[in-house]
Amino acid sequence: MNQGERTMQQNEMKLEFDSRSCNEGFARVAVAAFMTQLNPTLEEVADVKTAVSEAVTNAIIHGYEGRVKKVEIFCRIEQETLFVEVRDEGKGIPDVELAMQPMYTTKAECDRAGMGFAFMEAFMDALEVESTPGRGTCVRMRKHIRHDTEQFPGYLDTETAKNMTER
Amino acid sequence: MEQLFTISGTTLIIRLPAELDHHSSEKIRLEADRLATGRNIRWMLFDFGQTVFMDSSGIGMLIGRYKMMRFLGGNVAAIRANEQIQRVLTLSGIDKVIDVYEGIPQQLNL
């Protein structure tokens, strides 16, 4: 594959911002804007926005516990798949498996529902959490964007349409 | 500025912002609790009419207000949720404890 083809199919962006709650909206909108080149449906955009919002909120509330440090987002588009990585250098999660259980929260008194990871899992295709106590947390998510499948022109026969969706 | 909190009789109507996340939920939580505990409020109505985004922080805020209103002998309902908001309400399971209406429920006589 030559360089020209590669740049058509792959695209990356990196974002770094202060762990302030007012940046939660900025972060999810930035990722949503980046993914528009995949021609996603409104529902797919909403899914990604929610997942990013969950990961960034976790970094701010749990990772840094209110301290103002940096949150990093790394996005990559490969073919029709979006990869999102949200990183913090906060306090980390001692037991990732426990933290990922629905309804589990360490901050119930702050009205946390304990659904952050469950939402990320529900709205994305894959979720991976890597954390080292005292060092920070990295959340990796992936979503395949199935675009254009319902916008085929009427004259396409089933076979052609099938080939196009499998391209 | 638009009125976000309206009290009508014993009902507190909270007009939610366009984006209900951790950032905006915090402010609503503080003001809702202040108003609900300072007066005789029986119903807390969350109006999603202008809301296009909600994440689990919004759900946490709703659950917290639900618990508080039940403790005070009152109730909570959500109104005018669009498709996207409805999806999040359903996914969280909160729609099993909080009633979701298309408009203001008639029994409130507002």
Q: Is residue B1 part of a domain?
A: no
pLDDT at A59 over 90: yes
CB of A21 within 8 Å of a chain B CB? The answer is yes
Burial of A29: CB neighbours in 10 Å, binned 0-12, 13-18, 19+: middle
pLDDT in tens, A104-143: 999 988 889 999 999 999 999 999 999 999 999 999 999 9
Domain ranges across chain A: 10-165
pLDDT at A67 over 80: yes
Put simply, the answer to whether A22 touches B23 (Cβ < 8 Å) is: yes
For an interface test with A, which of B53, B55, B98 has the most A Cβ atoms less than 10 Å from its Cβ? B55
Range of the domain at B71: 12-108
Q: Is residue B103 part of a domain?
A: yes
**Region of residue B46 (left: phi > 0; alpha: psi -120 to 50; beta: else):** beta
Task: Say yes or no: domain A10-165 is CATH 3.30.565.10.
Answer: yes
Q: Is residue B2 part of a domain?
A: no
Query: Is A58 in the active site?
Result: yes
User: Tell me, what's the ipTM?
Assistant: 0.91
Count of the separate structural domains present in chain B: 1
pLDDT at B52 over 80: yes
pLDDT at B64 over 90: yes
- When pLDDT is averaged across residues B59-78 and rounded to a whole number, the result is 95
Residues belonging to chain A? 167
Distance, CA of B46 to CA of B37 (rounded, Å)? 17
CB of B25 within 8 Å of a chain A CB? The answer is yes
| Banded pLDDT at A164 (limits 50, 70, 90) | low
- When pLDDT is averaged across residues B44-64 and rounded to a whole number, the result is 96
Q: Is residue B36 part of a domain?
A: yes
Put simply, the answer to whether A53 touches B25 (Cβ < 8 Å) is: no
What is the CATH number for B16? 3.30.750.24
Residue of A nearest to B93 (CA): A115
